[in-house]
Chains A and B, each alone.
Chain A
Amino acid sequence: MSTVVDITGTDEPLVIAGRALRSRLMVGTGKYRSNQEMVDAIEASGAEVVTVAVRRVDLDRANEEGVLHHLDTQRYLLLPNTAGCYTAQDAIRYARLARAAGFTDWVKLEVIGDQETLLPDAGATIEAARELVSDGFKVLAYTNDDLISALRLEDAGCAAVMPLASPIGSGLGLMNPFNIRTIKSRLEVPVIVDAGVGTASDAAVTMEQGVDGILMNTALAEAQEPVRMARAMGLATEAGRLAYLAGRMPRRERAVPSSPTRGMLS
Protein backbone atom coordinates (compact mmCIF):
# COMPACT_ATOMS: atom_id res chain seq x y z
CA MET A 1 0.00 0.00 0.00
CA SER A 2 1.40 3.35 -0.90
CA THR A 3 1.26 6.32 1.40
CA VAL A 4 0.83 9.79 -0.01
CA VAL A 5 3.23 12.06 1.83
CA ASP A 6 1.73 15.43 2.51
CA ILE A 7 4.38 17.99 1.69
CA THR A 8 2.11 20.98 1.86
CA GLY A 9 2.94 23.17 4.78
CA THR A 10 6.59 22.19 4.70
CA ASP A 11 7.48 25.85 4.28
CA GLU A 12 6.21 28.94 5.99
CA PRO A 13 5.08 32.04 4.16
CA LEU A 14 7.60 34.79 3.57
CA VAL A 15 6.57 37.75 5.72
CA ILE A 16 7.73 41.24 4.73
CA ALA A 17 6.50 44.28 6.66
CA GLY A 18 3.71 42.18 8.14
CA ARG A 19 2.50 40.87 4.81
CA ALA A 20 2.58 37.11 4.21
CA LEU A 21 3.57 35.94 0.76
CA ARG A 22 3.20 32.40 -0.54
CA SER A 23 5.66 32.81 -3.39
CA ARG A 24 9.33 33.51 -2.68
CA LEU A 25 9.84 34.72 -6.21
CA MET A 26 9.34 38.38 -7.10
CA VAL A 27 9.48 39.50 -10.70
CA GLY A 28 9.97 42.67 -12.71
CA THR A 29 7.94 44.03 -15.59
CA GLY A 30 10.70 45.50 -17.77
CA LYS A 31 12.03 44.62 -21.20
CA TYR A 32 9.35 42.15 -22.32
CA ARG A 33 8.71 41.94 -26.05
CA SER A 34 5.03 42.65 -25.50
CA ASN A 35 2.68 43.51 -22.67
CA GLN A 36 0.82 40.23 -23.15
CA GLU A 37 4.03 38.25 -22.81
CA MET A 38 4.78 40.15 -19.60
CA VAL A 39 1.36 39.39 -18.14
CA ASP A 40 1.57 35.71 -19.10
CA ALA A 41 5.11 35.34 -17.73
CA ILE A 42 4.19 36.92 -14.40
CA GLU A 43 1.24 34.58 -14.07
CA ALA A 44 3.40 31.56 -14.93
CA SER A 45 6.02 32.59 -12.37
CA GLY A 46 3.53 32.42 -9.51
CA ALA A 47 4.94 35.69 -8.14
CA GLU A 48 2.74 37.93 -6.01
CA VAL A 49 5.10 40.91 -5.78
CA VAL A 50 5.78 42.69 -9.07
CA THR A 51 8.22 45.57 -9.52
CA VAL A 52 7.51 48.64 -11.63
CA ALA A 53 9.51 51.76 -12.51
CA VAL A 54 8.46 55.43 -12.33
CA ARG A 55 8.99 57.41 -15.52
CA ARG A 56 7.77 60.49 -17.31
CA VAL A 57 4.72 59.85 -19.42
CA ASP A 58 5.45 59.70 -23.12
CA LEU A 59 2.42 61.63 -24.34
CA ASP A 60 2.25 59.62 -27.54
CA ARG A 61 2.61 56.17 -25.99
CA ALA A 62 1.18 56.59 -22.49
CA ASN A 63 -1.36 53.78 -22.66
CA GLU A 64 1.03 51.29 -24.18
CA GLU A 65 3.85 52.05 -21.74
CA GLY A 66 1.75 52.46 -18.63
CA VAL A 67 2.05 49.12 -16.90
CA LEU A 68 -1.18 49.64 -14.95
CA HIS A 69 -3.09 49.44 -18.22
CA HIS A 70 -2.03 45.81 -18.43
CA LEU A 71 -1.50 44.48 -14.91
CA ASP A 72 -4.23 43.40 -12.49
CA THR A 73 -3.46 45.48 -9.41
CA GLN A 74 -5.99 43.53 -7.32
CA ARG A 75 -3.99 40.40 -7.90
CA TYR A 76 -0.41 41.62 -7.54
CA LEU A 77 1.33 43.70 -4.93
CA LEU A 78 3.15 46.46 -6.78
CA LEU A 79 6.70 47.21 -5.71
CA PRO A 80 7.80 50.50 -7.29
CA ASN A 81 11.54 50.90 -7.71
CA THR A 82 13.88 53.87 -7.81
CA ALA A 83 15.91 52.42 -10.67
CA GLY A 84 18.00 54.92 -12.57
CA CYS A 85 18.58 57.14 -9.53
CA TYR A 86 22.17 58.07 -8.72
CA THR A 87 21.63 60.17 -5.60
CA ALA A 88 19.71 59.70 -2.37
CA GLN A 89 17.63 62.81 -3.13
CA ASP A 90 16.58 61.51 -6.55
CA ALA A 91 15.64 58.14 -5.10
CA ILE A 92 13.56 59.81 -2.39
CA ARG A 93 11.78 61.92 -5.01
CA TYR A 94 10.96 58.86 -7.12
CA ALA A 95 9.78 56.94 -4.05
CA ARG A 96 7.41 59.76 -3.10
CA LEU A 97 6.03 59.97 -6.64
CA ALA A 98 5.47 56.22 -6.56
CA ARG A 99 3.62 56.36 -3.26
CA ALA A 100 1.44 59.21 -4.54
CA ALA A 101 0.09 56.81 -7.16
CA GLY A 102 -1.89 55.39 -4.26
CA PHE A 103 -1.15 51.67 -4.51
CA THR A 104 1.49 51.00 -1.90
CA ASP A 105 3.94 52.45 0.57
CA TRP A 106 6.48 49.77 -0.31
CA VAL A 107 9.50 50.83 -2.34
CA LYS A 108 12.38 48.93 -3.83
CA LEU A 109 15.13 51.41 -3.07
CA GLU A 110 17.99 51.46 -5.53
CA VAL A 111 20.70 54.08 -5.68
CA ILE A 112 23.19 53.30 -8.39
CA GLY A 113 26.82 54.33 -7.96
CA ASP A 114 28.32 53.57 -11.36
CA GLN A 115 26.83 53.74 -14.83
CA GLU A 116 28.88 50.96 -16.31
CA THR A 117 28.44 48.24 -13.71
CA LEU A 118 25.17 49.54 -12.21
CA LEU A 119 26.58 48.57 -8.83
CA PRO A 120 24.77 50.17 -5.89
CA ASP A 121 26.04 53.15 -3.90
CA ALA A 122 25.74 51.73 -0.39
CA GLY A 123 26.30 55.04 1.39
CA ALA A 124 23.65 56.88 -0.59
CA THR A 125 21.28 53.90 -0.29
CA ILE A 126 21.61 53.93 3.51
CA GLU A 127 21.04 57.71 3.59
CA ALA A 128 17.91 57.42 1.44
CA ALA A 129 16.69 54.42 3.44
CA ARG A 130 16.81 56.36 6.71
CA GLU A 131 14.82 59.23 5.25
CA LEU A 132 12.23 57.02 3.59
CA VAL A 133 11.75 54.86 6.69
CA SER A 134 11.17 57.96 8.80
CA ASP A 135 8.67 59.10 6.18
CA GLY A 136 6.69 55.88 6.65
CA PHE A 137 7.85 53.85 3.68
CA LYS A 138 8.38 50.10 3.79
CA VAL A 139 11.83 50.00 2.25
CA LEU A 140 13.23 46.96 0.46
CA ALA A 141 16.79 48.01 -0.26
CA TYR A 142 18.90 46.77 -3.13
CA THR A 143 22.56 46.55 -2.14
CA ASN A 144 25.89 44.86 -2.68
CA ASP A 145 26.62 41.38 -1.39
CA ASP A 146 28.36 43.07 1.50
CA LEU A 147 27.56 42.29 5.13
CA ILE A 148 28.28 45.74 6.51
CA SER A 149 26.04 47.65 4.13
CA ALA A 150 23.34 45.02 4.69
CA LEU A 151 23.61 45.50 8.47
CA ARG A 152 23.45 49.28 8.10
CA LEU A 153 20.33 49.01 5.97
CA GLU A 154 18.72 46.79 8.57
CA ASP A 155 19.68 49.34 11.25
CA ALA A 156 18.12 52.05 9.08
CA GLY A 157 14.81 50.24 9.43
CA CYS A 158 14.50 48.51 6.06
CA ALA A 159 11.75 45.89 5.79
CA ALA A 160 14.01 43.68 3.68
CA VAL A 161 17.55 43.81 2.37
CA MET A 162 18.25 42.77 -1.21
CA PRO A 163 21.85 41.92 -1.98
CA LEU A 164 22.76 41.20 -5.58
CA ALA A 165 23.69 37.78 -6.95
CA SER A 166 25.67 39.52 -9.72
CA PRO A 167 25.27 42.81 -11.63
CA ILE A 168 21.84 43.88 -12.87
CA GLY A 169 20.97 42.28 -16.17
CA SER A 170 24.17 40.22 -16.29
CA GLY A 171 22.66 36.75 -15.86
CA LEU A 172 25.93 35.60 -14.30
CA GLY A 173 24.19 33.84 -11.42
CA LEU A 174 25.26 33.77 -7.78
CA MET A 175 28.83 35.10 -7.73
CA ASN A 176 29.48 34.90 -4.02
CA PRO A 177 27.44 32.32 -2.11
CA PHE A 178 29.62 32.80 0.97
CA ASN A 179 28.77 36.50 1.22
CA ILE A 180 25.10 35.81 0.73
CA ARG A 181 25.10 33.14 3.45
CA THR A 182 26.97 35.51 5.76
CA ILE A 183 24.39 38.25 5.21
CA LYS A 184 21.52 35.82 5.75
CA SER A 185 23.07 34.50 8.96
CA ARG A 186 23.37 37.98 10.47
CA LEU A 187 20.18 39.78 9.47
CA GLU A 188 16.81 39.45 11.12
CA VAL A 189 14.81 41.06 8.30
CA PRO A 190 14.18 39.01 5.16
CA VAL A 191 17.06 38.74 2.68
CA ILE A 192 15.90 38.76 -0.94
CA VAL A 193 18.58 38.20 -3.56
CA ASP A 194 18.00 40.72 -6.32
CA ALA A 195 19.66 40.85 -9.73
CA GLY A 196 21.96 38.54 -11.64
CA VAL A 197 20.04 35.27 -11.71
CA GLY A 198 20.20 33.94 -15.28
CA THR A 199 18.51 30.57 -15.35
CA ALA A 200 16.65 28.08 -13.19
CA SER A 201 19.73 26.46 -11.67
CA ASP A 202 20.91 29.91 -10.53
CA ALA A 203 17.60 30.39 -8.74
CA ALA A 204 17.82 26.99 -7.06
CA VAL A 205 21.43 27.50 -5.95
CA THR A 206 20.54 30.93 -4.61
CA MET A 207 17.62 29.62 -2.58
CA GLU A 208 19.78 26.74 -1.31
CA GLN A 209 21.89 29.35 0.51
CA GLY A 210 18.92 29.86 2.83
CA VAL A 211 17.83 33.29 1.66
CA ASP A 212 14.17 34.25 1.92
CA GLY A 213 13.46 34.98 -1.71
CA ILE A 214 14.66 36.10 -5.12
CA LEU A 215 13.78 39.04 -7.35
CA MET A 216 14.44 38.82 -11.08
CA ASN A 217 13.47 40.51 -14.32
CA THR A 218 15.87 40.10 -17.23
CA ALA A 219 16.17 36.32 -16.81
CA LEU A 220 12.51 36.07 -17.73
CA ALA A 221 12.13 38.95 -20.18
CA GLU A 222 15.19 37.99 -22.25
CA ALA A 223 14.61 34.24 -22.25
CA GLN A 224 13.75 32.81 -25.67
CA GLU A 225 10.40 31.84 -24.17
CA PRO A 226 9.68 34.05 -21.15
CA VAL A 227 6.51 32.26 -20.10
CA ARG A 228 8.21 28.87 -19.99
CA MET A 229 11.22 30.35 -18.19
CA ALA A 230 8.91 32.01 -15.67
CA ARG A 231 7.40 28.64 -14.82
CA ALA A 232 10.91 27.16 -14.55
CA MET A 233 11.97 29.96 -12.19
CA GLY A 234 8.93 29.48 -10.00
CA LEU A 235 9.67 25.76 -9.71
CA ALA A 236 13.40 26.33 -9.16
CA THR A 237 12.81 28.90 -6.45
CA GLU A 238 10.54 26.50 -4.63
CA ALA A 239 12.87 23.55 -5.25
CA GLY A 240 15.87 25.44 -3.92
CA ARG A 241 13.92 26.53 -0.88
CA LEU A 242 12.73 23.00 -0.09
CA ALA A 243 16.25 21.61 -0.62
CA TYR A 244 17.58 24.19 1.83
CA LEU A 245 14.94 23.28 4.40
CA ALA A 246 15.49 19.56 3.82
CA GLY A 247 19.25 19.91 4.40
CA ARG A 248 21.56 18.41 1.82
CA MET A 249 23.71 15.29 2.34
CA PRO A 250 27.35 15.87 3.24
CA ARG A 251 29.87 16.26 0.45
CA ARG A 252 32.47 13.46 0.42
CA GLU A 253 35.48 13.12 -1.79
CA ARG A 254 35.00 9.37 -2.08
CA ALA A 255 32.34 7.06 -3.44
CA VAL A 256 29.97 5.25 -1.11
CA PRO A 257 27.84 2.50 -2.64
CA SER A 258 24.11 2.92 -2.49
CA SER A 259 23.42 -0.82 -2.78
CA PRO A 260 24.44 -3.45 -0.22
CA THR A 261 27.99 -4.80 -0.61
CA ARG A 262 26.95 -8.04 1.11
CA GLY A 263 24.89 -10.72 -0.56
CA MET A 264 26.72 -10.65 -3.87
CA LEU A 265 26.77 -13.95 -5.83
CA SER A 266 30.00 -15.94 -5.53
Chain B
Amino acid sequence: MAEIRIQVNGEPKDVADGLNIEELLRSLDLQPRMIVVEHNGDILRRERYAEVLVGSGDSLELVQFVGGG
Protein backbone atom coordinates (compact mmCIF):
# COMPACT_ATOMS: atom_id res chain seq x y z
CA MET B 1 0.00 0.00 0.00
CA ALA B 2 1.39 3.37 -1.00
CA GLU B 3 2.41 5.73 1.78
CA ILE B 4 2.77 9.47 1.88
CA ARG B 5 4.77 11.63 4.25
CA ILE B 6 2.92 14.30 6.23
CA GLN B 7 3.66 16.43 9.28
CA VAL B 8 1.61 15.68 12.40
CA ASN B 9 2.12 18.07 15.31
CA GLY B 10 5.47 19.10 13.92
CA GLU B 11 6.78 15.56 13.41
CA PRO B 12 7.13 13.75 10.09
CA LYS B 13 4.80 10.78 9.77
CA ASP B 14 4.24 8.22 7.01
CA VAL B 15 0.61 7.30 6.53
CA ALA B 16 -1.41 5.37 3.99
CA ASP B 17 -2.28 7.30 0.86
CA GLY B 18 -5.92 8.18 0.25
CA LEU B 19 -7.11 8.60 3.85
CA ASN B 20 -9.54 11.29 4.83
CA ILE B 21 -9.05 13.16 8.11
CA GLU B 22 -11.51 11.00 10.01
CA GLU B 23 -9.79 7.81 8.86
CA LEU B 24 -6.40 9.25 9.73
CA LEU B 25 -7.55 10.09 13.26
CA ARG B 26 -8.96 6.60 13.75
CA SER B 27 -5.73 5.07 12.43
CA LEU B 28 -3.93 7.04 15.16
CA ASP B 29 -6.36 5.67 17.78
CA LEU B 30 -7.97 9.09 18.27
CA GLN B 31 -11.69 9.77 18.62
CA PRO B 32 -12.60 12.39 16.00
CA ARG B 33 -15.16 14.09 18.27
CA MET B 34 -12.42 14.76 20.85
CA ILE B 35 -9.94 16.29 18.43
CA VAL B 36 -9.69 19.64 16.67
CA VAL B 37 -7.71 19.64 13.43
CA GLU B 38 -5.76 22.47 11.87
CA HIS B 39 -5.07 21.44 8.28
CA ASN B 40 -2.32 23.43 6.56
CA GLY B 41 -3.04 26.33 8.89
CA ASP B 42 -6.82 26.28 8.59
CA ILE B 43 -9.12 25.02 11.30
CA LEU B 44 -11.26 22.24 9.89
CA ARG B 45 -14.90 22.00 10.89
CA ARG B 46 -15.66 18.54 12.25
CA GLU B 47 -18.38 17.95 9.62
CA ARG B 48 -15.62 18.02 7.01
CA TYR B 49 -13.34 15.40 8.58
CA ALA B 50 -14.85 12.66 6.42
CA GLU B 51 -14.55 14.58 3.15
CA VAL B 52 -11.10 16.20 3.36
CA LEU B 53 -8.31 13.98 2.07
CA VAL B 54 -4.83 13.92 3.52
CA GLY B 55 -2.27 14.75 0.84
CA SER B 56 1.48 14.33 0.61
CA GLY B 57 3.32 17.12 2.44
CA ASP B 58 0.23 18.23 4.39
CA SER B 59 0.79 19.75 7.81
CA LEU B 60 -1.68 18.79 10.50
CA GLU B 61 -2.05 20.07 14.01
CA LEU B 62 -4.16 17.79 16.17
CA VAL B 63 -5.21 19.37 19.46
CA GLN B 64 -7.51 18.51 22.31
CA PHE B 65 -8.58 19.87 25.69
CA VAL B 66 -6.21 18.94 28.48
CA GLY B 67 -6.11 19.92 32.13
CA GLY B 68 -5.43 23.60 32.69
CA GLY B 69 -6.33 26.57 34.83
Interface residues of A (CB under 8 A from B): 28-32, 38, 51-57, 59, 62, 65-69, 78, 80-81, 83, 96-98, 100-102, 168, 195, 215-218
- Cβ-neighbour of B69 out of A57, A100, A168 (below 8 A): A168
Contact B35 A100 (CB under 8 A): no
Contact A57 B38 (CB under 8 A): no
Set of chain B residues within 8 Å of A195, measured between Cβ atoms: 69
Contact A66 B36 (CB under 8 A): no
Complex: A83 Cα to B65 Cα, angstroms: 12
Contact B62 A52 (CB under 8 A): no
Given contacts A54-B63, A56-B61, contact A29 B68 (CB under 8 A): yes
Mark the stretch among B14-22, B26-34, B51-59 that contacts chain A.
B26-34
How far does the Cβ of A222 sit from chain B's closest Cβ, in whole Å?
11
Residues from 37 to 60 in B contacting A, C-beta threshold 8 Å: 38, 43-46
Complex: A96 Cα to B36 Cα, angstroms: 10
How far does the Cβ of B44 sit from chain A's closest Cβ, in whole Å?
8
Contact B66 A65 (CB under 8 A): yes
Given contacts A62-B29, A69-B34, contact A54 B65 (CB under 8 A): yes
Complex: A51 Cα to B66 Cα, angstroms: 9
How far does the Cβ of B19 sit from chain A's closest Cβ, in whole Å?
15
3 nearest interchain CB pairs? A53-B68, A217-B69, A28-B69
- Cβ-neighbour of B43 out of A51, A80, A96 (below 8 A): A96
Contact A55 B66 (CB under 8 A): yes
Contact B68 A68 (CB under 8 A): no
Beta-carbon nearest neighbor of B64 in chain A: A66
Beta-carbon nearest neighbor of B68 in chain A: A53
Set of chain A residues within 8 Å of B30, measured between Cβ atoms: 57, 59, 62
Set of chain B residues within 8 Å of A59, measured between Cβ atoms: 8-9, 28-30
How far does the Cβ of A166 sit from chain B's closest Cβ, in whole Å?
14
Identify 9 residue pairs between A and B in the complex whose beta-carbon atoms are under 8 Å apart, listed by A's number: A38-B67, A53-B66, A59-B8, A59-B30, A67-B66, A68-B34, A69-B34, A81-B68, A98-B36
Set of chain A residues within 8 Å of B66, measured between Cβ atoms: 29-30, 52-55, 65-67
